[in-house]
Amino acid sequence: NRIAPGTYTAPSILWIKRHEPEVYEKTYKFLHANGYIVHRMTGAFTTDYTQASATLLLDIKNVKWSEDLCETLNIDRSKLPEIRPSWKAVGELTEEAARELNLPRGIPVAAGANDTACACIGTGVVEEGMALESIGTTITLSYITAKPSFDIRVLNRLHAVPERYILMAATSTPGAAYRWLRDQFYRGKSGATYREMDEEAERAAPGSRGLIFLPYLSGERTPIWNPNARGVLFGLTLTHTRGDVARAFLEGGAYCVKDCLEVFKSRKFEVSEIRVTGGGAKSRLWRSIMADVLGLTLRVPNVEEASCLGAAVLGGTAAGVYGDPIEASRRIVKVVDEVKPRLGNHVKYQRYYKLFKRVYLKLVEEFDELKALEAS
């Protein structure tokens, strides 16, 4: 995985070791948030498959802490917790925890998983070739494989189900950009909701009449990994309307997803199905734009809180309610809607996407220069 400060555990541990050495020396185990909660519940010091694979310290093929990586980074391996499968119980609720939570003692406690893996389970994205697009503040595209792939443009993780991996592409701010547009240009003038914004955007033509938006309002992650990238509204004229701008924001988010999808395709990974979830997926217009830009059918499952459902499935599996999380996910999750791409729009968007890519590439040096000016 690509080294990204604040995203992975190893750089954070090294920061503590360098800047707060006394804290590092006193630390018995480094835990993720869910690992700490599991410890409070059971007394066990553990991490799960999905979190362990986000540390930069895991031998992902053998699912154990890498001696080479720990030695190279000079991180004490004894300070790392035991790695447990996400769907397995790591212990039972202690008497003290049961009293604090007002629950019966002895309830099995699962290792759990990160939000993305839980959302995949909660939407039925558990088979090789399936993908989940989660549209929120950020947009993530999670693709399921039966073997790991080592491409530094995406995040490589273990799934929370047996014998599966997640290749995750994570954008930074497409959803947040749409919220910023609402707060700055809609709410103060008309008290508009997202639905009203979508109505204006839907009246605009595909391509927003020659308007392209780069939604890099807080840098960008997959696949360009450029913290200096900035938002750009390219092609703005006096004839453009607020609806054109709103649509350009939605299309910009879709171009980012296509950018991520191209990474998977470059590695010969064929996407058999994309399911969508998250607050942004409630927008019928955004789903439609996504389908048109990607040229793929998007399927909507019968679940709103996908990560919560996925976590519940892991808990149920650990407690013996389900045989395994894959079987449980198949049984619970159903597709209730789908959006198919329109060929004419897809062809048009292909041309806009290529220009979207070129605009970014022509501005890379300028982004760096602007960052330097900001810091001066």
Q: Within this chain, do residues 169 and 130 fall inside the same structural domain, yes or no? A: yes
The number of folded domains in the chain is 2
Residue 192 binned pLDDT confidence (cut-offs 50, 70, 90): low
Q: Give the closest residue to 161 by CA, choosing from 134, 125, 115, 107.
A: 125
Model pLDDT, residue 293: 98
Any domain includes 56: yes
Q: Within this chain, do residues 99 and 131 fall inside the same structural domain, yes or no? A: no
Any domain includes 7: yes
Model pLDDT, residue 299: 98
Mean pLDDT within 166-175: 94
Any domain includes 117: no
Residue 16 binned pLDDT confidence (cut-offs 50, 70, 90): very high
Q: Within this chain, do residues 102 and 173 fall inside the same structural domain, yes or no? A: no
Tens digits of per-residue pLDDT, 270-296? 899 999 999 999 999 999 999 999 999
Q: Within this chain, do residues 208 and 302 fall inside the same structural domain, yes or no? A: yes
* 3-class SS of residue 153: coil
Q: Within this chain, do residues 31 and 169 fall inside the same structural domain, yes or no? A: no
Amino acid identity, residue 252?
A: G
Tens digits of per-residue pLDDT, 54-93? 999 999 989 999 999 999 999 999 999 999 999 999 999 9
Model pLDDT, residue 166: 96
Residue 150 binned pLDDT confidence (cut-offs 50, 70, 90): confident
Any domain includes 352: yes
Q: Give the closest residue to 340 by CA, choosing from 294, 279, 278.
A: 294
CATH number at residue 185: 3.30.420.40
Contact (CB, 8 A) for 121 and 314? yes
Model pLDDT, residue 149: 84
Instruction: Tell me the percentage of the chain whose pLDDT exceeds 90.
Output: 91
| Concatenated DSSP letters of 277-340 | ESGGGG-HHHHHHHHHHHTS-EEEES-SSHHHHHHHHHHHHHTTSSS-HHHHHHHH--EEEEEP
Inform me whether the pLDDT recorded for 317 exceeds 70.
yes
Bridging pattern class, strands 130-135 and 139-145:
antiparallel
| Concatenated DSSP letters of 155-193 | EEEE-SSTT-EEEEEE-SSHHHHHHHHHHHHTHHHH---
Range of the domain at 21: 1-112
Amino acid identity, residue 298?
A: L
Q: Within this chain, do residues 128 and 108 fall inside the same structural domain, yes or no? A: no
Any domain includes 308: yes
Torsion (CA) 34, 35, 40, 45 in degrees, nearest 10 = 170
Model pLDDT, residue 186: 87
Mean pLDDT within 21-47: 97
Q: Which of 80, 112, 144 is the last residue of a domain?
A: 112
Q: Within this chain, do residues 49 and 130 fall inside the same structural domain, yes or no? A: no
Q: Within this chain, do residues 217 and 341 fall inside the same structural domain, yes or no? A: yes
Inform me whether the pLDDT recorded for 241 exceeds 70.
yes
Q: What is the mean pLDDT of the chain?
A: 95
Q: Which of 58, 91, 112 is the last residue of a domain?
A: 112
Rounded to whole angstroms, how far apart are CA atoms 81 and 88? 16
Any domain includes 118: no
Q: Within this chain, do residues 333 and 280 fall inside the same structural domain, yes or no? A: yes
Q: Which of 112, 145, 160 is the last residue of a domain?
A: 112
Q: How far apart are the first and last CA of the chain?
A: 32
Residue 170 makes CB contacts below 8 A (sequence gap 6+) with 138, 139, 140, 141, 155, 221, 222
Q: Within this chain, do residues 30 and 132 fall inside the same structural domain, yes or no? A: no
Residue 129 makes CB contacts below 8 A (sequence gap 6+) with 144, 269, 270, 271, 272, 273
Within the chain, residue ranges assigned H as helices are 9-19, 21-26, 33-42, 49-52, 67-73, 95-101, 115-122, 174-185, 187-190, 194-203, 242-266, 284-294, 306-318, 325-332, 343-375
Mean pLDDT within 352-376: 97
Tens digits of per-residue pLDDT, 93-136? 999 999 999 999 999 999 999 999 999 999 999 999 999 999 99
Say if pTM beats, i.e. exceeds, 0.75: yes
Residue 151 binned pLDDT confidence (cut-offs 50, 70, 90): confident
Model pLDDT, residue 90: 97
Q: Within this chain, do residues 99 and 176 fall inside the same structural domain, yes or no? A: no
Q: Within this chain, do residues 241 and 137 fall inside the same structural domain, yes or no? A: yes
Phi, psi dihedral angles at 5 (to 5 degrees): -55, 135
Contact (CB, 8 A) for 61 and 148? yes
Eight-state DSSP code of residue 212: E
